[in-house]
């Protein structure tokens, strides 16, 4: 009797990474002061559609491949972008009164930093490119969170610049995974997986 072949699924990680990366780059350019603060209105639809929805779809597809790390990461950061977009949208239209919410938003960003820090620990067994993405991301969250909490603009500015690096690293990793998959070999390096 012929053995049934298992279905082959595409790797959803490059899609989730570019959804995260591009959205992060755009917001970080605003946080770093390169683009005007009013540009957040442009980031909102991107946060819903690409940073949010696409990452959530990637997370659900990671579930199908049995990748716990990818599932948790993409679903969580997809939800982060929805939180961000809803906060700006609802706060900007007076549905939510955020006038006294500054410290709570700051602590929430720090909480995201804690979550990202423990996700970073798991990347020690993954490709080095992901290690760098998560390293720069947890530091970014702490810089933005503590900058807002302590009212130190320099920390927030540094968070913007490091967030830009993080987003570009995520886009690079997506590019590498797509290119390597198409060519069937390593064309763009991502760093060897630790532990074999």
pLDDT per 10-residue tile (average), the chain, 196 residues: 72 98 98 96 96 98 95 98 96 91 96 98 97 98 98 98 98 98 96 74
pLDDT digits (tens, 9 = 90+) for 45-67: 999 999 999 999 999 999 999 99
Yes or no: say if 146 and 106 are a contact pair by the CB < 8 Å rule. yes
Its pTM stands at 0.93
Give the tokens for residue 67.
């990748």
Rg (CA), the chain: 18
Residue ranges of domains in the chain: 13-178
To 5 degrees, how large is the angle CA 56–CA 59–CA 60?
A: 90
Q: What is the pLDDT of residue 100?
A: 92
What span, in angstroms and rounded, lies between the C-alpha atoms of 24 and 47?
9
Q: Which of 185, 166, 163 is nearest to 33 (CA)?
A: 163
The burial class, CB within 10 Å (0-12 / 13-18 / 19+), for 94 is exposed
CA distances to 38, 81, 87, 117, 143 from 149, rounded to whole Å, are 22, 20, 17, 19, 10
């Amino acid at each position: 009797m012929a053995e049934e072949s298992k279905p082959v699924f595409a790797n959803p990680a490059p899609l989730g990474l570019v959804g995260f990366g591009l959205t992060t780059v755009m917001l970080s350019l605003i946080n770093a002061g390169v683009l005007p603060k009013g540009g957040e209105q442009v980031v909102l639809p991107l946060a819903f559609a690409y940073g949010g929805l696409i990452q959530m779809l990637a997370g659900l597809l990671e579930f199908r491949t049995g990748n716990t790390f990818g599932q948790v990461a993409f679903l969580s950061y997809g939800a982060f972008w929805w939180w961000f977009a809803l906060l700006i949208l609802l706060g900007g239209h007076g549905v939510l009164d955020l006038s006294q919410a500054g410290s709570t938003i700051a602590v929430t960003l720090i909480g995201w930093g804690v979550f990202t820090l423990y996700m970073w620990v798991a990347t020690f067994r993954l490709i080095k490119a992901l290690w760098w993405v998560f390293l720069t991301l947890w530091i970014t969250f702490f810089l933005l969170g503590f900058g807002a909490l302590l009212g130190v603009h320099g920390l927030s500015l540094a968070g913007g610049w490091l967030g830009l690096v993080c987003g570009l690293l995520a886009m690079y990793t997506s590019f590498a995974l797509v290119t390597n998959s198409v060519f069937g070999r390593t064309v763009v390096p991502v760093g060897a997986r630790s532990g074999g």
